[in-house]
Amino acid sequence: MHALEIITRLNGETQRAPHPLHLHPRIYALRRLIRGMEFGSEYVSRLYSALYKYADQIVERPHYKADEGWDDFETLQQVTLRDWMETSICRLGGRSRGNEEE
């Protein structure tokens, strides 16, 4: 077996099925915005992760006009940063979100 065949087989076996909403116009537009960003790879990776984690909610939320509310990209950034901060706080504190003392 040639090396190219091995690589092709390995890549074929590890590919994930795309998210059901990956071709939705709003999700596609967000993917294009993220792809064009010149930030560190960790932030971009977290944006992609949040995009597919919250894709259903992004598609269901209303389309706001300018100055009425956050657009899809601003919303995605906010939930990404919130998730990132929660993860960081849980790691530092050594406890999960539901185990905090009152």
pLDDT, one tens digit per residue, over 31-77 is 999 988 887 788 899 999 999 899 988 888 887 777 777 888 999 99
Specify if 9 maps to a domain: no
| Within-domain flag for 50 | yes
Within a domain: residue 58?
yes
Establish if 4 belongs to a structural domain: no
How confident is the model at residue 21, as a pLDDT?
Answer: 75
Structural domain boundaries, residue 90: 20-99
76 domain residue, yes or no: yes
Residue 1, in any domain of the structure: no
**What total of structural domains would you count in the chain?**
1
> Does residue 95 register a pLDDT over 90?
no
The contacts of residue 27 (CB under 8 Å, 6+ apart) are: 19, 21, 51, 55, 58, 59
Whole-number mean pLDDT of the chain?
79
Q: Is residue 60 part of a domain?
A: yes
> If pLDDT is split at 50, 70 and 90, which confidence band does 83 have?
very high
pLDDT tier at 102 (50, 70, 90 boundaries)?
Answer: very low
In a domain, 48, yes or no: yes
